[in-house]
């Protein structure tokens, strides 16, 4: 059984029709992993790995990320459930998934700021400067295009 990674069962069920479908802890294991992979992939260029690694469970995960993970898991689970009874796509699941992806894209673009529990914005990789990389322009190059080796 996978642990709850970014979203609790309550975070997931908040996006599912209460009287039609509610997910249980036993049903979300693989979907938790899929949501974790998707969110990390989308935000890996926005946040440092250390920041992403701090999100170890729902309690340590920022609220908007919990919401997005809940939406992704709910959308995928509802689509699977719907597919058992219909040959057509589940419009609700598709719209929910697209909304979650849009939120991730807005975070990556800097339009949504993620804050920690104290309300402080999380640092992102966009604040890196050339001093964070080596070699950079402050150090003369060891090799040049015109250098010949004998």
Gap between the terminal Cα atoms of the chain: 61
| Percentage with pLDDT > 70 across the chain | 83
**Confidence class of residue 122 from pLDDT cuts 50, 70 and 90?**
confident
CA-based nearest residue to 51, from 111, 128, 135 = 128
| pTM of full prediction above 0.85 | no
Sign of the torsion formed by the C-alpha atoms of 80, 104, 44 and 121? negative
Residue 39: is its pLDDT beyond 80? yes
- The region of weakest confidence among 7-11, 31-35, 114-118, 136-140 is 136-140
Residue 108: count other Cβ atoms within 10 Å of its Cβ. 17
For the stretch 123-139, pLDDT in tens is: 665 555 666 566 667 77
Mean pLDDT in the chain?
84
Whose tokens are 């993970």? That residue is: 69
Mean pLDDT of 32-52: 91
Residue 50, pLDDT score: 85
For the stretch 95-113, pLDDT in tens is: 999 999 999 999 999 899 9
130-to-51, 126, 139 alpha-carbon distances in Å: 21, 11, 11
């Amino acid at each position: 059984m996978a642990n709850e990674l970014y979203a609790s069962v309550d975070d997931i069920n908040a996006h599912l029709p209460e009287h039609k479908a509610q997910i249980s802890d036993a049903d979300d294991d693989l979907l938790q992993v899929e949501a974790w992979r998707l969110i990390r992939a989308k935000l890996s260029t926005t946040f440092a790995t250390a920041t992403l690694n701090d999100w170890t469970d729902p309690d340590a995960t920022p609220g908007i990320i919990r919401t997005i993970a809940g939406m992704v898991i709910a959308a995928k689970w509802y689509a699977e459930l719907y597919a058992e009874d219909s040959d057509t796509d589940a419009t609700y699941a598709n719209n929910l998934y697209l909304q979650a992806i849009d939120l991730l894209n807005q975070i990556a673009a800097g339009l949504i700021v993620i804050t920690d529990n104290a309300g402080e914005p999380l640092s992102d990789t966009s604040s890196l400067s050339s001093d964070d990389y080596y070699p950079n322009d402050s150090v003369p190059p060891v090799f040049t295009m015109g250098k010949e080796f004998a």
